[in-house]
Each structure stands twice: as C-alpha cells, then as structure tokens.
C-alpha cells in the first residue's frame, strides 16, 4: 500500500511531530472512553428509569381498558394519571409516530424500552426535548400520555462534556508549555550544529533532559576535538615548513659553494648527507603521523595489564633501558581502546624517556572506570610552565632536554596527547617521584 499521501500530511518539524505523538493518543483514548462511558452510563440509567415509568403507563392503560365507556375510562384514568403527573389525551388527535433526534443519546433506549414493556404503546414522540408523548392503542381508540422527559432519562451529558473539554484544554496548554521547554534545548543544539557546519562557532551550553545533555556534551567534545585537530594541523604545517627551511637553506648554500673544477671535500659531502637525513626524518615522521591517524582500528576490549607488559617486553628486546614498574588492579581486567594507536603513544613516551634520560620505568593502574599508563624517566624533566607548550607539534625544548642520544622532530608528545584525547582521556606531564625526572601519564576511560 502507498502511504505517501499520509507522509505529506504529517508535520515536518520536531515540535509538530512530538505534539502529534503526545496529543493524538490522548485525544483518541479520551473520545473512545467518553463515548463508551456516556453510552453505557446513560443507557443503563435510562433503562432503569423508563422501566419504572412503564408500570405507571401500564396502570393507566389497564384502567382505560377496564372501563365500560369512554367517559368512564377518561374519569378513571384521570384519577390515576393526575397523581402520577401524567397528562391524558383521550382520544388522541393523531396516531403519532416514533421520533428522536440523532444526537439524543438516550432517546433510542426510551423508545425501545416503552415498546418492549407496554404492549399498547404504538408510538413514542420525543420531538419536544422536555417531554415525552406516548401514543397507545386502547379499547376506545388511540390516546396519548404526556409526561416530563426527566422521568425516563438522565439529564443531558453536556455538563460532563463541557467539564471534560475544559479540563482537556487546560491539560493540553500545560503539556504544550512543557513540550516547548523540552524541545528548546534540541533546537539550540541543532542551531549550534548548523552554525558550526557553516564555519561559525556560537556559544552553546547543554541543557534539558539527560539524553539531550549527553548529546550536547558529545557535540561540544566533538567540536573541541575538531578545533584541536585543525589547530594542530596548522601548527604541524607551519612546523614542517619552518623545520624544512633550515636544512634546505643549508643544502642550497652548500651546493652553491661547491667548486665546479675541484671535487667536493669529504666534510662537505658529510654535511650535505646530514641535511638530507634530517629532511628524511622529518618527512617520515610527518607521513607516519598522518597515516596512523587515518588508519586507526576500532576500539576493542583488551586485557589491560598484559598489554602494558607486552609493550615493555618489546622495548627491552629492542635494547631500550626500560623496566616494568608496579601494576595495580585486577590482573585479568579489560579496558576498551585501540590497541595499535595506544601502543604507539606509549612507545613514543618510552622513546622520549630513554632519549632524554638514562633509564625509564613504566607502571600502570586499572581502576573501576579508568586505565592509567605512566612512563617516568630520570632526565632533566620539563618545567611546569612549559609543559603545555611541549604537547604542541614540532616543539623541541632544546635548552631543557638532553639531546646527546639523538634528535627528534617534536611529534612524540603531541601524538601521544592526540591519541589520549581520541580515547576520551588525556596526557598529563608531572614531576617524577621515583626517578626524579619527567612522568608522563595517559589516563583513558575503561
């Protein structure tokens, strides 16, 4: 079946759809319950009241049929009808007919009950809302009994309907205000996301229900992560251009100083090869960082402490002066992370530690909701006021670090910080307590 026409009738906005979901079932249930209640209640009450009235009508009909003539019948029937507040019309001007308005909820029941319980009844006229005109076939021809409508049916349900409609309107207004307050945070989140998609950052603070707050917090974290990545990309590009310019300038100068008549000296060749090696290291580091960022495997549940043991064992086999420190937590506990990228982050920290110090130590702790890996060295460390700067790409704090054991390009700490943030955690640089150098801690949620 094709329901395209129904889709076109549905509201497009979130507010309209939420209102439809909220109000439509309530309206339908209210209507159904109202109809069923009115039908059952007024039908049962009307049947009971009409049943009592039929006994009075039957009594008058018996007096008329028992009289010898019409005058006697009229007198005897009046003696009974008057105290019962029944108006007798004998003979009747017309035979009458059954009639009730279509909106008369109890009229049908009155007519059915009178016909069923009094054999002489030939017609029931309810055209007058305040009275009932019953036509009966008697011994002396048709006659009519007229009495008030309230004696055979309950009062009109308009009071109940008015009360129900008024209450429904009041509750609808309250629900509308509540619904608007609940949808306002969603609209603000949608506007913030739309503006950010256009390259504009507007102030946004999560609000509303817990689910909306979670979505808003996730959006802010995503926006911050994207902004950090954009900033790091700019810093990386500027760092690459700056760092490449120095060896390129030396290469250009060295080539210009080579004599065309005499062969180059070994020292000149060694200097040029050193510059080429530096360029190669920088290019490889940049390409490796870009490649690893694009090829991250999905997170998996991995035994945490065994993961740390494996990294330290591999580093020791590679000839690095690193040892395994204390491991805290459940030895069989698991954490959720990307194995390859987190391994690279820890290996970068170990590489930095053994490059700028003599020894390194790796310890780990597995808490109820977090996983921490720490790498500590015995080097000169980094002053607290320059630790934020050390996390930026292509930053080398040459005066504060020992470079006797090699030269990096300033990406180790930056990559580790990026990987920690990608896992929802952070990289912290603090003073080492056991070895006295720098202590780098990666803390991620489990």
pLDDT tens for 355-367 read 888 889 999 999 9
User: Would you call 120 helix, strand, or coil by DSSP?
Assistant: coil
User: For residue 305, what pLDDT is reported?
Assistant: 93
What's the CA gap between 352 and 318, in Å, rounded? 15
User: For residue 236, what pLDDT is reported?
Assistant: 64
Residues 6+ apart with CB under 8 A from 250: 271, 275
User: For residue 237, what pLDDT is reported?
Assistant: 66
Residue 406 has pLDDT above 70, yes or no: no
Question: Do the bridges between strand 87-89 and strand 141-148 make them parallel or antiparallel, or are there none, so unpaired?
Answer: antiparallel
- Rounded to the nearest integer, the mean pLDDT of the chain is 82
Whether the upstream peptide bond of residue 91 has omega within 30° of 0, thus cis, is yes
Residue 26 has pLDDT above 50, yes or no: yes
Residue 58 has pLDDT above 90, yes or no: yes
User: For residue 319, what pLDDT is reported?
Assistant: 86
User: For residue 34, what pLDDT is reported?
Assistant: 76
Give the rounded percent of residues in the chain with a pLDDT score beyond 70.
82
For residues 33 and 304, the model is more confident at 304
User: For residue 404, what pLDDT is reported?
Assistant: 41
DSSP string, 246-296: HHHHHHHHHHHHS-SSSPPPHHHHHHHHHHHHHHHHHHHHHHHHHHHHHTP
Q: Tally helices (H) and strands (E) across the chain.
A: 11, 11
What's the CA gap between 415 and 349, in Å, rounded? 10
Element (H, E) at 9: helix 4-9
């Amino acid at each position: 079946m094709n329901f395209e026409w129904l889709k076109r009738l549905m509201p497009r906005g979130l507010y309209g759809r939420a209102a439809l979901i909220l109000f439509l079932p309530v309206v339908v249930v209210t209507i159904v319950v109202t109809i069923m209640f009115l039908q059952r209640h007024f039908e049962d009450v009307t049947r009971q009241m009409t049943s009592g009235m039929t006994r009075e009508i039957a009594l008058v009909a018996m007096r008329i049929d028992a009289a010898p003539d019409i005058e006697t019948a009229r007198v005897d029937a009046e003696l009974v009808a008057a105290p019962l507040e029944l108006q007798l019309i004998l003979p009747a001007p017309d035979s009458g007919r059954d009639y009730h308005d279509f909106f008369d909820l109890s009229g049908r029941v009155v007519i059915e009950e009178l016909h069923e319980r009094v054999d002489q009844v030939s017609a029931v006229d309810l055209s007058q809302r305040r009275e009932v005109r019953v036509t009966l076939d008697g011994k002396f021809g048709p006659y009519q009994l007229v009495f008030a409508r309230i004696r055979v049916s309950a009062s009109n349900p308009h009071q109940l309907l008015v009360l129900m409609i008024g209450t429904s309107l009041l509750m609808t207004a309250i629900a509308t205000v509540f619904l608007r307050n609940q949808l306002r945070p969603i609209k603000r989140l949608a506007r913030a996301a739309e503006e950010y998609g256009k390259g504009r950052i507007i102030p946004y603070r999560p609000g509303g229900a817990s689910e909306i707050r979670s979505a808003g917090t996730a959006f802010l974290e995503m926006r911050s992560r994207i902004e950090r990545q954009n900033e790091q990309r700019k810093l990386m590009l500027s760092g690459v251009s700056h760092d490449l310019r120095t060896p390129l300038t030396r290469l250009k100068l060295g080539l210009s100083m080579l004599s065309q008549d005499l062969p180059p000296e070994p020292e000149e060749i060694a200097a040029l090869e050193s510059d080429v090696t530096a360029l190669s290291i920088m290019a490889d580091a940049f390409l490796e960082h870009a490649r690893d960022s694009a090829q991250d495997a999905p997170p998996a549940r991995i035994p945490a402490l065994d993961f740390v043991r494996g990294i330290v064992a591999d580093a020791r086999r590679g000839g690095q002066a690193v040892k395994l420190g204390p491991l805290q937590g459940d030895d069989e506990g698991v954490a959720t992370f990307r194995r390859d990228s987190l391994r690279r982050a820890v290996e970068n920290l170990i590489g930095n530690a053994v490059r700028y110090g003599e020894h390194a130590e790796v310890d780990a702790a597995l808490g109820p909701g977090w996983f921490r890996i720490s790498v500590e060295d015995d080097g000169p460390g980094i002053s607290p006021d320059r630790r934020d700067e050390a996390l930026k790409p292509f930053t080398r704090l040459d005066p504060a670090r020992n470079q006797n054991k090699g030269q990096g390009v300033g990406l180790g700490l930056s990559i580790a910080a990026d990987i920690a943030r990608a896992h929802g955690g952070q990289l912290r640089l603090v003073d080492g307590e056991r070895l006295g150098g720098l202590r780098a801690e990666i803390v991620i949620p489990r």
